[in-house]
Structure 1
Amino acid sequence: MKISVMMALRVPTLVRTALVTALLVGAGLLAQAPQPTSAPPTTVPVAVQAACPVDPATPKRQFRGMWVASVANVDWPSRTGLTVAQQQAEYRSWLDLAVTNRMNAVIVQIRPTADAFWPSTYEPWSHWLTGTQGQNPGYDPLGFMVAEAHARNLEFHAWFNPYRVANHADLSRLVSTHPARRNPSWVETYGGQLYYNPGIPAVRAFVQDAMMDAVSRYDIDGVHWDDYFYPYPVSGVSFPDQDTFAQYGAGFSNINDWRRNNVNLLVQEMGQKIHAAKSWVSFGISPFGIWRNASTDPLGSRTSGLQSYDSIYADTRRWVKQNWVDYIAPQIYWHIGHPAADYAELVRWWSGVTTGTNVQLVVGQATYRSGASGQDPAWQNAGELTSHFTLNRSYPQVVGDIHFSAKDVRANRIGAMARVVADHYSRPALLPVPLARGGAAPGAPTLSSATRGSGGVTLTWQRPTTGTTTGYAVYRLPGDGPVDACALADSRHLIATVRASGATGTYLDTTAAAGSTYRYLVTALHRLHHESAPSAARTVPGDGSGAFSVIVDNTTTGGFTASANWGTSTFLSTRYGSNYRFANPQSVSDVAWFSATIPATGSYRVEVWYPADPGYNSATPHLVATSTGNVTVTVDQRSGGGQWRTLGTYSLAAGTRQVVGVSRWTAGTGYVIADAVRITRL
């Protein structure tokens, strides 16, 4: 990997659930839950999902990966000469880091310098493993890496470098059996390094065969290349392939077009070979972030940096437009507002390029820059990186991100990575379904049991009888009763994904609060991430230890705060207590807050009381400060007052804090009302 130089308002749960339930009951899609004959949890049928609002902070699908670089021992192994046990322990720690950060893919470099991290039939063992090229490390690293990733239900993308031979210029330092030594005419020296010459057809065929050896023999999920094709230019020095052009360049008027065609053939042919061998294996490339500048080509981006089309002969735009790859992951390694290469401009440009194609856009993120010395001042702001992810939400073509590199994810300098996780990875996510690749969802699994024990809730299910299943998604919904048709529209209730193994599956939910009632559902996942219909839900009641309910009135001492813009009234008798508060709607942040002490993190039902009047506001925003961020629910205060009205069930964190707010920021007319709230643990 080259380090480049250059609130949607939700429909109120109360209203949505009532409407959807009424429609589904009328259609015969919801039935009364069958009553068990003994203690097992209740099984609750699940409705077919409808068109539903989703929270952009908790997307259902998102590619979340990190690069694990082996060249120069950047990430793994941390140095040469480690024992097998040490290498394996280090690798497991990287996977555990990915899981902790709620990622779902790792991109691991397994062919960094024309060598191999597996017993290749084409190339020698990598010297980055043992310190000696050609030396057997004592185990099969690639087989181990794939198995360990899949055990955690992480996708494994094998990262290859097609043409780089060595980070030095001495051919004699390569092991004697190295293909470059056996075929010295294939090799060129440039910039103090050795490269295979991309213009030689035999070289192109050989590197493809060397990579396909891993594809055919191992259960990898993707083939991944970074930005190394022709080497980055050395000032004043041309790549020494003029003789090769004279030999193979027939039909091309200039050497640059010929070089681009050589790379185009490599990309096109490799994609065809991968999909012919294993249709489910994705092919992705992470190129330099700029194709061409608009000042050079009107189709280019509004940038002024190095152009991959002209400098390294990578016509990345064409690869996308021709659908030669499954995903493109440009290294957009600049901050928002960079004068030569603005992150916002490049995301806009790449989104436009991928629109109308079968290629998905994944952004390569410069996590290594956050908080690092010598970087632009923008990267000393802990909010810079997370702002990239927020901007990405404006472009549906962006389906995820990859962080460079693993050691920088772990370093978490200035807390930048923690901000990303809190703001964007608060829940797990399924991987995006590749476009135009076929496949179909398996049948629904059968959730046979959900049992509460001292360590949490243990789920057991049976594999679907139809379709191909490689994994499962586990959902947990608070409370009991019928399942909202929109409950699985995003990942708010997704708690885990599990790799399929055998005829049954299990999962232990160690985060289940003892006093809370939950509904669990499981879906089956296809190799290409198609998701089945959900199982019937199983309800696990709380054990009673969490009984808690509190009412906070607008007169509760220390429980209510509001600015002087909020008046006090006793006009309506349907108020709660002696009075209530009111304010005119304005486009300002002026929230009246109800505070409470939440005894333990868990699921709580949140209700509000207000006196209703036809002249009051039809869309009063209510903010609920959940454990994963604020949720906004609008309430029509013209009717339904004088009683407790449910906003929804939410995960609330333990502690004393502002829990429910009533906002003046609404387009509706008429007073907004703040009277009382009730919070009940489930």
Structure 2
Amino acid sequence: MNIRNLQYTVLVATAIFINSCSTQKPAKQVAKKPVTTTKPLPPKPVTPLPDPEKKISLNLPEVNREFRAAWIATVANINWPSKNNLTTQQQKDEAIKILDLLKNANFNAVIFQARPSADAMYKSDLEPWSYFLTGSIGKAPMPFYDPLEFWITEAHKRGMELHVWLNPYRAHHTTGGPITEESLIKKMPDQIVKLRNGMYWMDPSDGKTQDHASKVIKDLVKRYDIDAVHIDDYFYPYREYNGGKDFPDNKSWNDFLKQGGNLSRADWRRANVNKFIKRIHDEIKAEKSYVQFGISPFGIWKPGFPEGIKGSSQYDELYADAKLWLNQGWLDYFSPQLYWKNDGPQSFPALLKWWESENTQKRHLYPGLNTIGLNGVSDRPAEIVSQINLTRQILKNSSGTVHYSVDGLSKNVDMFNAVKNAYQTQALIPRTPWIKAKPLDKPNLSVENNGNSVSIKWNALDAANVFQWILYVKNGDTWETEILEKDIVSRNLPLNKNGKKLNTVALKSVDRLGNESDYDSKKL
């Protein structure tokens, strides 16, 4: 055999050997017995350490809620400024004096007349500066300042709301000085008529009147940090303003007839006022939903409503169907001017109960009280206090009153003391649940023990939305509450008060609609 045959034979033999190995069955595996293990015992329970940041469950006391406001009239210099020739500083000093007076009596709102008669107590591109501010229509205060901005800032500093009060139709008051080229009487002559008592009035049914008043209100809402827009009882004027004669609106009435209108003249007038009220409400909400809309109409809808009531008819004389506005909810609060005593042909409690029965949308009902000139009573302060208490009894959980005017408090010590005693504790404004608002964040509260006293500080991530704070302090078993202005963010508290040890503090924030946040709290 040669070498090549020998190599071939070895290769064949190797292939046969490999093939036989791959076809053999694998050896049988022997199953292994499982390893027996001991089951572990459950871990012993561990008692968690107390979490210093964990919220304490507290039963905090309810904070009193009641709307307490006063009207600040600027027309004819009734309340402010006291004269139309004061310096800027004198005007500011008078404003601060009024606000401090109201704050001292636990009021929580002012209703400031920013537009007395188609003029402005603020910087406006739509209407001239008021004669009642500087003694000349169109003349700005010098040194310059914006009075409305000042009133808003100072009211908010004191934790008080600022409602802008305006009259949509009065164009010139008899005490408003000479008419100049700046006056709207010159700029809108086709929409304005002169009444027999010397006043000038915009025609409420003229479309241009409605458009102009709408622009003024939207401008106020857009540019100023106000809490509400407030309209008073002047729609079509009272009959005596025109010597008992009918309102001279022949031009707009004839235009209505030419266009095929078929309403009676009275219904046409009411329809125009109704349209304007609904429009203003909707436009305010479209601009800033949280700005409230309030109306203070004449207190009697019609004589005989309720039975036994006598007097003028807002429905027939002013062409104001205020009952409809309340029924429809075209407002956030309603302040009928119930400027009469408790008994008599215009009974305060009877009228308030009737208006409450018409409040089908459950809006705020804050009656207007005649604090300055209530007739037919021997003790005016006692009568006003009784009306405050009657309002609380009739309206219960959403009560409040508005006082006309602040002079009734500032110029009558007995009245001021009586009302202050009636408002002896602080109060938040009632909640307004139909206005949706973003919930406030829980504030952050910190406490430092100084030995004989405790320093507390607080803040909130959403501070821009905070209007006030509520501080709760517990000494022994007794809770005390305090409503604080937004700018107050610290307090120093004694560890012992009247023999009782301080043991708990808590804090909430409150928004401009009276909504409360959750609370933060600390145990000591």
Please indicate the TM-score interval, normalised by the length of the shorter structure. Answer: 0.7 to 0.9
CA offset at residue 478 of structure 1? 3.3
Find the counterpart in structure 2 of residue 396 from structure 1.
395
Structure 2 equivalent of residue 78 of structure 1: 82
Query: Which of these two proteins has the greater Rg computed from alpha carbons?
Result: 2
Q: What is the aligned residue count?
A: 467
- Per the alignment, residue 247 of structure 1 pairs with 255
Q: Please state if 1:107 is matched with 2:104.
A: no
**Distance in structure 2 (CA, Å) of the matches to 1:419 and 1:252:** 54
1:198 aligns with 2:197: no
1:346 aligns with 2:351: yes
Gaps of 5+ in 1: 1-30, 37-42, 488-492, 540-682
Distance 1:195 1:289 in 2: 22
Task: State the Cα distance separating 1:440 from its structure 2 match.
Answer: 4.0
Look up the match of 2:157.
Answer: 151
- Determine whether 1:276 maps to 2:286: yes
Amino acid corresponding to residue 183 of structure 2 in structure 1: H
> Deviations for 1:597-634, whole angstroms, at most 9, x for unmatched residues?
xxxxxxxxxxxxxxxxxxxxxxxxxxxxxxxxxxxxxx
Which residue number in structure 1 is paired with residue 379 of structure 2?
Answer: 380
| Partners of 1:440 and 1:526 within 8 A in 2 | no
For the residue of structure 2 that corresponds to 1:494, the secondary structure is: strand
Give the match's secondary structure for 1:227.
Answer: coil
CA contact (8 A) 2:171 2:201 kept: yes
Distance in 1 of aligned mates of 2:83 and 2:450: 45
SS at match of 2:254: helix
**Does the 8 Å CA contact 2:285/2:291 hold for their aligned counterparts?**
yes
Q: Residue 418 of structure 2 corresponds to which residue in structure 1?
A: 419
Please give the secondary structure, in 1, of the residue aligned with 2:394.
coil
C-alpha distance in structure 1 between counterparts of 2:284 and 2:421, whole Å: 37
1:47 is aligned to 2:45: no
Question: Alignment partner for residue 117 of structure 1, among 112, 118, 121?
Answer: 121
1:263 maps onto 2:248 in alignment: no
Residue 613 of structure 1 is matched in structure 2 by: none
In structure 2, distance between residues paired with 1:531 and 1:379: 42
> How many angstroms apart in 1 are the aligned matches of 2:292 and 2:198?
33
Q: Compute the displacement of 1:334 (Å).
A: 0.8
- Write the distance in 2 (CA, Å) between the matches of 1:418 and 1:324: 36
Map of 2:43 onto structure 1: none
Shift of 1:434: 1.4
Q: 1:506 aligns with which of 484, 490, 493?
A: 490
Structure 2 counterpart of 1:427, which letter?
T
2:511 to 505, 526, 539: 526
**Cα distance change on mapping 1:311 and 1:85 into 2, 3 Å:** same
Distance verdict in 2 for CA 1:93–1:513, change over 3 Å? farther
Measure, in 1, the Cα distance between the counterparts of 2:370 and 2:458.
41
Identify the residue that residue 9 of structure 1 maps to in structure 2. none
After superposition, the C-alpha distances for 1:576-614 in whole angstroms (9 at most, x for unaligned) are xxxxxxxxxxxxxxxxxxxxxxxxxxxxxxxxxxxxxxx
- Cα gap change, 1:84/1:353 in structure 2, threshold over 3 Å: closer, same or farther? same
Which of the numbers 89, 93, 106 marks the counterpart of 1:89?
A: 93
- Cα 1:478–1:300 change in 2 (3 A) is same
Where 2:70 maps in the other structure, the secondary structure is: strand
CA-to-partner distance for each residue in 1:19-73, whole Å, 9 max, x for gaps? xxxxxxxxxxxx999899xxxxxx9924256xx8x7xxxx621111111111111
Matches of 1:33 and 1:479, distance apart in 2: 23
TM-score, normalised by the number of residues in structure 1 = 0.64
SS class of match (2:367): strand
CA distance in 1, matches of 2:411, 2:282: 39
In the TM superposition, 1:644-663 aligns within 5 A as: none
Q: CA deviation at 1:223?
A: 0.2
Conserved in 1, the CA contact under 8 Å of 2:466 and 2:486?
no
SS at match of 1:531: coil
TM-superposed CA distance for 1:534, in Å, is 2.1
Give the Cα–Cα distance (whole angstroms) in 2 for the partners of residues 204 and 213 of structure 1. Answer: 14
Deviations 1:286-331 (A, max 9, x none): 111111122xxxx655411111111111100000111111110011
Distance 1:451 1:122, change over 3 A: farther
- Paired residue secondary structure (2:316): helix
The match for 1:319 among 322, 325, 336 is 325
Structure with a larger share of its residues in strand: 1
Q: CA deviation at 1:538?
A: 5.1
Answer yes or no: is the 8 Å Cα contact 1:109–1:158 preserved in 2. Answer: yes
Residue matched to 1:555: none
Tell me, in whole angstroms, the C-alpha distance in 2 between the residues paired with 1:168 and 1:85.
Answer: 27
Percent identical pairs in the alignment equals 32
Alpha-carbon spacing, 1:347–1:169, altered in 2? closer, same or farther (3 Å): closer
**Preserved CA contact (<8 Å) 2:300 2:312:** yes
Secondary structure of 1:65's partner? strand
> Per-residue displacement from partner, 1:373-411 (whole Å, max 9, x unpaired)?
xx31x2525421111121122223652111111121123
The AA in structure 2 aligned to 1:203 is: T
CA drift at 1:179: 2.9
Report the secondary structure of 2:372's partner residue: helix
CA distance in 2, matches of 1:195, 1:453: 68
Q: What does the per-residue CA deviation read over 1:247-304, in whole Å, with 9 as the maximum and x for residues that have no partner?
A: 125434311111111111111100111000000000000111111122xxxx655411
Q: Unaligned 5+ residue runs, structure 2?
A: 1-47
In 1, Cα distance between the equivalents of 2:448 and 2:417? 33
Q: Is the contact between residue 163 and residue 229 of structure 2 (CA under 8 Å) also seen in structure 1?
A: yes
Structure 1's 117 and 507: CA in aligned 2 closer, same or farther, altered over 3 A?
A: farther
Alpha-carbon deviations, 1:326-352, whole Å to 9, x = none? 110011111111x21001101111111
Q: Choose the corresponding residue for 2:444, options 432, 443, 446.
A: 446
Q: Is the alpha carbon distance of 1:45 and 1:407 closer, same or farther for their aligned partners in structure 2, counting shifts above 3 Å?
A: same
CA contact (8 A) 1:169 1:193 kept: no
CA 1:445–1:168: 2 relative to 1, 3 Å: same
Contact 1:442 1:524 in 2 (8 A): yes
Deviation at 1:367, TM superposition (A): 0.9
- CA change 1:33–1:306 in 2 (3 A) is farther
How much has 1:149 moved relative to structure 2? 1.0
Look up the equivalent residue of 1:351 and give its one-letter code. E
Aligned equivalents of 1:310 and 1:33: distance in 2?
A: 71
Which one of 314, 329, 335 corresponds to residue 341 of structure 2?
Answer: 335
Asked whether the equivalents of residues 62 and 431 of structure 1 are also in contact (C-alpha less than 8 Å), the reply is yes
- Listed as ranges, the matches of 1:582-601 within 5 Å are none
Whole-angstrom distance in 2 between the partners of 1:451 and 1:271: 51
Paired with 1:383 and 1:127, the residues of 2 have a C-alpha distance of 37
Contact kept? 2:392, 2:400, Cα under 8 Å: no
The question of whether the paired residues in 1 share the 8 Å contact of 2:468 and 2:484 is answered with yes
Q: Is the 8 A contact 1:336 1:343 kept in 2?
A: yes
CA contact (8 A) 1:290 1:301 kept: no
CA distance in 2, matches of 1:185, 1:451: 72
**Is 1:497 matched with 2:484?**
yes
Kindly state the Cα deviation for residue 353 of structure 1 after the two structures are TM-superposed: 1.1
User: 2:55·2:520 contact (CA, 8 Å) conserved in 1?
Assistant: no
- Measured after TM superposition, the shift of residue 516 of structure 1 is 5.0
* Structure number having the greater helix percentage: 2
In 1, the alpha carbon distance for the partners of 2:352 and 2:269 equals 27
Deviations 1:143-196 (A, max 9, x none): 1111111111111100111111111399x9323133320221111111320011
Query: SS state of the match for residue 393, structure 1?
Result: helix
Task: Give the whole-Å Cα distance in 1 for the aligned partners of 2:112 and 2:288.
Answer: 19
Q: Could you tell me how far 1:500 is from its partner in structure 2?
A: 5.5
Q: Deviations over 1:647-679 (max 9, x none)?
A: xxxxxxxxxxxxxxxxxxxxxxxxxxxxxxxxx
Supply the AA of the counterpart residue of 2:251.
D
Q: Give the structure 1 partner of residue 26 of structure 2.
A: none
Deviation of residue 497 (structure 1)?
2.6
Residue 25 of structure 2 is matched in structure 1 by: none
1:60-93 per-position Cα deviation (integer Å, ceiling 9, x unaligned): 2111111111111111111111111111111111
